[in-house]
Structures are given as structure tokens and as C-alpha cells.
Structure 1
Amino acid sequence: MSDHDQLLVVIDPVARRMDGESVRIAKDVLRGGSEAKICLPDGPEEFARALARRGSRRPVVVGDDRALLRAVGLLHRDRWLGDGALSLVPVGTSVQLAHSLGVPAGAVAAARAVLDGAVRRLDLLVDESDGVVLGGLTIPALRSAARAEASVWHAARSLVRTLVGPAPPAAAPRHHRLRVEADGVVLADLDEPVEAVTVRAGPDGRAAVVVRRRAAPAPLRADALSVTVSGPDFRYRADTHVTGPVRTRTWTVRPGAWGLTLPAA
């Protein structure tokens, strides 16, 4: 039996809790078409140990987008991504990133793609602390972070109103003063408020950068190999994670840095 047929199937504990039936189906399909070693880690540390002990087996993750990101991050830091390929069976409620990368929906279709698909090399955004971005990042970290902050402020205002009377109105939304550089070219500087910055790895080995400025009706767009953002403390949303605050961060495109098994054309 070839190495291609020897799989290490790491099943994320969240997937087992959320959708045990899809996990069972994925295991049955993978076992039926390969020599599959099944790992059932109970948490992130066991998840990492299972991947580290993969040997010559091809790693397959059964889980959601967070499990995919965890696996890619671990394998990147292990300097394995350039030589190998990762496979995924998406199970869970947050699988939008996986589907956007081309992984099929449904346990049967995704497991069949693991067995019969082809490896596609994809670009990766990597920061100076070895953090990875598969899809894209946004500054500021809108929505989820903003909702959490709004909930905190609502609770605080309610408490103040109860204790000392009416609270002052909520502060207006903040705009960031950031310096944004694409391959050393300044797209925005600290003297001009920025509403949002988005960075995505494009299909041509470069990052697509969009800067929305408060005073300009049209956004600035650029393609670059590296993007640096600096300024007062800021948070950013990379794929599913909100990170920060940080004062500077540089993302560099690694063309074709990782392989994902997708349905054969």
C-alpha cells in the first residue's frame, strides 16, 4: 500500500460534539478506501501531538474552519507544508472558509475528495510571528469584535444608569490612524483616518490590499508581496480569529506554500 493510501485522520473534538453522524460517515468512507489511522484528541495539545506523530501518513482533519487553521499553523511551524498536502472533511457550523477554498460540502463528498482528489497548491499569508492567514484579514476587526464591545458598553451604561442616573451618550465609532505600506509604498499614513484595511492572498502570488479612508469616496487598491500596518494599538480579524492589540504587523505572501486536496477536475 502506498503512502498516499495511508492516512492519519485527526477528528477535532468540537466536530464530534456538534455532528457525530457526519464524523461517523467520514470515518466509514475513509476507512473503506484507505489504511486510515483514526485519532480522537480531546483538546488542542493532543491535536498538535497527533499531527506531530504523523510519520509518513497523509494528514486528514475532520472539523471546522478553526480546526483547519490550527492544523495549517502547526504544519507551517513544523516546516512541512512545502512538501506535503493536507486534506479536510468539513464538519461543524463554521465551514465557510473551507468551502471558499473549494472543499466540498457534505461528509461523503469531502471524504471522497480526500481519497480521489488532487493536490492544489495555495498561497499563504504569513506574519513575522509565524501566524498564518488562509483567506483574508480585516482591520479593524469589525462585527464580532464590535458586537462584543457594544455588549460590554451596554451593560456598563445600564449599571451606571442604575447607580447614578442617566449615562452620557455612547462615543462615536472610532476611526483608525494607521500607516499602511504595500511593498514599501505608503498607501495611508497616520495623518489620515482609515475606516478599514483588507488584505487577501490573490491567485497570482500577490496580496490584494484595499484601504478605505474616511475622507475619500473611493478605496485605494494595490497588489503587493508584503503589507505592513503600523500605528496605535489595533486589532485585526484573520480568517476566524480576532488578534491584538498590536502596534505593527507585516504579512508576506508565500506563493504555493501549502497544498490542499480538492476534487479532481
Structure 2
Amino acid sequence: MSAAQPPGNGAHQLLVVIDPVARRTDGESVRIAKDVLSAGSHAKICLPDGPEEFARALSRRGSRRPVVVGDDRTLLRAVTLLHRDRELTGEALALVPVGAAAMLQLAHSLGVPMGAVAAARAALDGAVRRLDLLVDDSDGVVLGALRIPALPTTPGSAPAHTGVTAVWDTCRSLVRTLVRPAPPTSPATPRTHRLRVETDGVVLNDLDSPVESVTVTSQGGGGGLADVVVHTAKGEALTAEAKAVTVSGADFRYRADTQVAGPVRTRTWTVRAGAWGLMLPVAEG
């Protein structure tokens, strides 16, 4: 799982945990990150094969500062583990982003350099930025945005299928299209939710007003507030700033950063100001 590297010339004591997906998708960027980190620190390199080994490596880091190499899912996994071990407060985490651009949007929004060299240097010599954390009542965390989306559907459409069934359905649909004209299609209609949204105990939207989507985004600067936006079926955008947001009503699913959770009937998210630290490049000037 791990391989000790010859100590570098720097004084940093680092634990570098490299996600297996990163190793498979971009081995060259991983190699560059390892070289830069090892040259500038006493680095212990860990190569976990799965989530359990990833968690074990973090829990056994001792006094070493953790650096994770991977995408947004890797960062979220590391923060979640440290939060559940109640070790985020005094810990500074670093990320070297490796992966597809679509899976690095969170890292980019947080200010992490996208290049392996620049990110590794920030992990070594950057400054700690304290960031807010959204924590729910099941101990889940959100680093960036929480979304309860509208679910597009067409009238009379059947539930989506996956795998072999989807391929077979596609083939049958193609055959039907070739042998007879396709019927007129109607525009997609968003499926609305019946949700009650409370911000710091104040009702922003109640069950009698259907909701298309809800978004909760941490302001991120350590101020302890989140931006809440509720899009109603009437086309309104209801907004608020809050420390705590409770959503309740009919079963709903939600997307927290890269993870989809639910269905649940009620969930409360609370902003914890400056709850975690991320190593970022030192601002010039």
C-alpha cells in the first residue's frame, strides 16, 4: 500500500496518499507530483488500492501533514474521514488535482492550482486558508454546493434503465423509428418537489408552493453563512443567507458535491465557520 521515499531536503513531514483512479488515468502527473513533493519534504508515499486502505493510511499518518493526489472525490473523501475522526480543526490538507476536468471543478473553485507542479509546490510552501464546511445531521459534509435538482421527465415516459436493458431498449427504439414515422415529441416537463425550506428557523418556502430546485452554497470565506436559492414552479427565485438550512417534505434526493444521497424526508445542514484548512498558493502582493 505504501512506499517510503528518500527524504528530501526540506523540513516538511508529509503523508502523500495517491488515489488509485489518479494512478490509472494520468500516471505522468502522479509521477511529477511525487517527484516535486519528495524533493521538498520527508514524504511517505501511500498507494491505497481502495477506500479502506485510503482511510487506514490517513488514520495512521501521525504528525505528518496529509496531501492527497486525485480528483474532487478524493478531496471529499479525505475531508469526510478527517471530519468523522474530529481531526479537521488543527489539520491542514493539500490536494494535487489529477483527473478529468469535469471531476476537478470543486478543486478549481476552491483555488487549487490545476497543474501538478504548481499544486505540489502549494502543498509544500503555500498558506493555509480556513474554509467553511456544511455538515448535515447524519454527519455528512459538503465542501462546495448542495443541490436538490429538478428531475426532467416527459409525459408518459417510462423509468430509465441501465446496462444491457438500456442497450436492448435503444435497439428496439431504433427499429421502430426505421419502420414507422416517429410521433411528435412534447417538451420536457420538470418534475417538481413539495418541500418546506427553512433558513435559520424562518420558512423560505412551504409545502403548498411546488419547488423545481434548491441550492445551498457555502460562502467559503470563513464567515459561517451559506447562500440559499429556491427555484419555485412559478418561476420565482427565493434567496436567503443562513447558518442552518432544513429541507423537509416528500422523499427527495440531493447531490452534495460529487455524491448523491437519499431519499430522505428531512435533512438539516449547518455551516461550521473555518472548520477545515486547505493549502493554497501564497497570494502575491
Give TM-score scaled by structure 1 length.
0.89
Stretches of structure 1 lacking an aligned partner (at least 5 in a row): 144-148
Equivalences for residues 68-217 of structure 1 within 5 A: 68-93=75-100, 94-140=103-149, 151-152=160-161, 155=166, 172-202=189-219, 203=221, 204-215=223-234, 217=235
Specify the code of the residue in structure 2 equivalent to 1:175: T
Contact 2:147 2:254 in 1 (8 A): yes
CA distance in 1: counterparts of 2:227 and 2:216, whole angstroms: 6
Q: Deviation of residue 105 (structure 1)?
A: 1.0
Contact 1:15 1:91 in 2 (8 A): yes
| Partner secondary structure for residue 190 of structure 2 | coil
Q: What's 1:244 paired with? A: 262
| Partner secondary structure for residue 161 of structure 2 | helix
Q: Deviation of residue 242 (structure 1)?
A: 1.2
CA distance in 1: counterparts of 2:10 and 2:132, whole angstroms: 25
Specify the code of the residue in structure 1 equivalent to 2:72: D
Residue 67 of structure 1 pairs with residue 74 of structure 2:
yes
Q: Deviation of residue 189 (structure 1)?
A: 1.0
CA distance in 2: counterparts of 1:227 and 1:200, whole angstroms: 11
Per-residue CA deviations over 1:26-55 (Å, capped at 9, x if unaligned) read 000000000000000000000000000010
Specify the code of the residue in structure 2 equivalent to 1:121: R
CA distance in 1: counterparts of 2:151 and 2:28, whole angstroms: 34
| Partner secondary structure for residue 152 of structure 1 | coil
Identity %: 71
Stretches of structure 2 lacking an aligned partner (at least 5 in a row): 1-6, 153-157, 176-181
| Partner secondary structure for residue 191 of structure 2 | coil
Contact 2:227 2:241 in 1 (8 A): yes
Q: What's 2:32 paired with? A: 25
Residue 38 of structure 1 pairs with residue 45 of structure 2:
yes
Contact 1:136 1:238 in 2 (8 A): yes
CA distance in 1: counterparts of 2:80 and 2:150, whole angstroms: 20
CA distance in 1: counterparts of 2:36 and 2:150, whole angstroms: 39
Q: Deviation of residue 158 (structure 1)?
A: 6.5
Contact 2:92 2:278 in 1 (8 A): yes
Query: Against the structure 1 CA distance between its residues 159 and 111, is the aligned structure 2 distance closer, same or farther, given a 3 Å change threshold?
Result: closer
